[in-house]
Amino acid sequence: RREFFRLAGGLLIPGAAGSLAGACGDASSAAGLSDGGGRQLPLQNVKAKVINTDEPLNRFEDITSYNNFYEFGTGKNDPQRYGGSLKTSPWTVKIDGLCNKPASYHLEDLIKDQQLEERIYRLRCVEAWSMVIPWVGIPLSTVLNPAEPQGKAKYVAFTTLFRPGEMPGQRTDALQWPYVEGLRMDEAMHPLTILADGLYGKTLMNQNGAPIRLVVPWKYGFKGIKSIVQIKFVEKQPPTAWSIANPQEYGFYSNVNPEVDHPRWSQAREKRLPSLFATYKTQMFNGYGDQVASMYSGMDLKRNY
Ligand SMILES: Nc1nc2c(c(=O)[nH]1)N[C@H]1C(S)=C(S)[C@@H](COP(=O)(O)O)O[C@H]1N2
Ligand SMILES: [Mo]
């Protein structure tokens, strides 16, 4: 609650995100740094480069109070309530596996201010709710290419921090820890795929996956793994947290598809938060089909749910 009031001080102007980022705040921040105690710092020089929707943005308050981040509990408000215990500075990300130049990076060396872009994306959760979020980040390919992946590398595997002392959900068996995710190499290198370190022009709140998380807008939200500490090039399709938990219900690809229902509910429609009614028609590939559908030509999209 305290976190919320500290943030509600008028910095956030829904709809003005494109121009907000460069306009607010002092010059003290480095890219991706929060102070480790949950206070959000302005991100400098964010380019409003790629706007992928003109739908209204969700309010900052929605985006930071209704979350899935099971490391802090399974309730939608648990991540906001308990996220403050995670220390996000210093933060190191290891990039390794099948590549010529494996390395560990301090976060501020991985993402540079000058590279930051704003990306306004729909986020569609497999639970049939959605939001529109003005992320700040960089294309994932920007950090993958310097590692020089080898020809054998066919997939990229991601791992969330495992630190049960700071993440109370990791002291339960809600999921197998640490949370893991994966992408095929072409999906990982796709220009729509980003690593986000901020939203609404400021560093991420812990509940949204601080200090750095994945965003893959044409896939269900659970592919967007939070609080990443390792990115690894691998040969075989890597295990993913939700398909480990329930392989009948959650697959590897998990592309948004209104024609393939979840075994327990329809995916044809979604509720656009804060609405409680599923009045919104879900779009194939969450509306990004023009850019991504060709990656799946020849694949049975019904099976690769
Ligand atoms: N480590 C980790 N990453 C995670 C999750 C999680 O529980 N743990 N939940 C996923 C799910 S189901 C969704 S819908 C999105 C939600 O992101 P948001 O809370 O920033 O909207 O995060 C994804 N990333
Ligand atoms: Mo989700």
Three-class SS of 130-143? EEEEEEEEEEHHHH
Q: Confirm if 92 and 105 have CB atoms less than 8 A apart.
A: yes
pLDDT tens readout for residues 208-258: 999 999 999 999 999 999 999 999 999 999 999 999 999 999 999 999 999
Q: Name the nearest CA neighbour of 46 among 135, 131, 146.
A: 135
Lowest mean pLDDT of 39-48, 53-62, 247-256, 290-299, name the range. 39-48
Strand residues in 37-102 grouped as ranges (E) = 47-51, 92-97
| Six token digits for residue 70 | 């099971």
Q: Is 210 in the pocket of ligand 1 (CB under 6 A)?
A: no
CA–CA separation, 36 vs 40, rounded Å?
A: 9
Burial zone of 47 (CB within 10 Å; 0-12 exposed, 13-18 middle, 19+ buried): middle
Atom of ligand 1 nearest to the CA of 63: 21
Pocket test for ligand 1, best of 63, 69, 270, 286 (most atoms within 8 A of CB): 69
Q: How far is the CA of 178 from the centre of ligand 1 (A)?
A: 13
Neighbours of 260 (CB within 10 A): 16
Q: Is 287 in the pocket of ligand 1 (CB under 6 A)?
A: no
Q: How far is the CA of 8 from the centre of ligand 2 (A)?
A: 25
pLDDT bucket at 38, cuts 50 / 70 / 90: low
Residue with structure tokens 């929605």? 62
Residue 26 pLDDT exceeds 90? no
Atom of ligand 1 nearest to the CA of 79: 19
What does the mean pLDDT of the chain come to?
Answer: 88
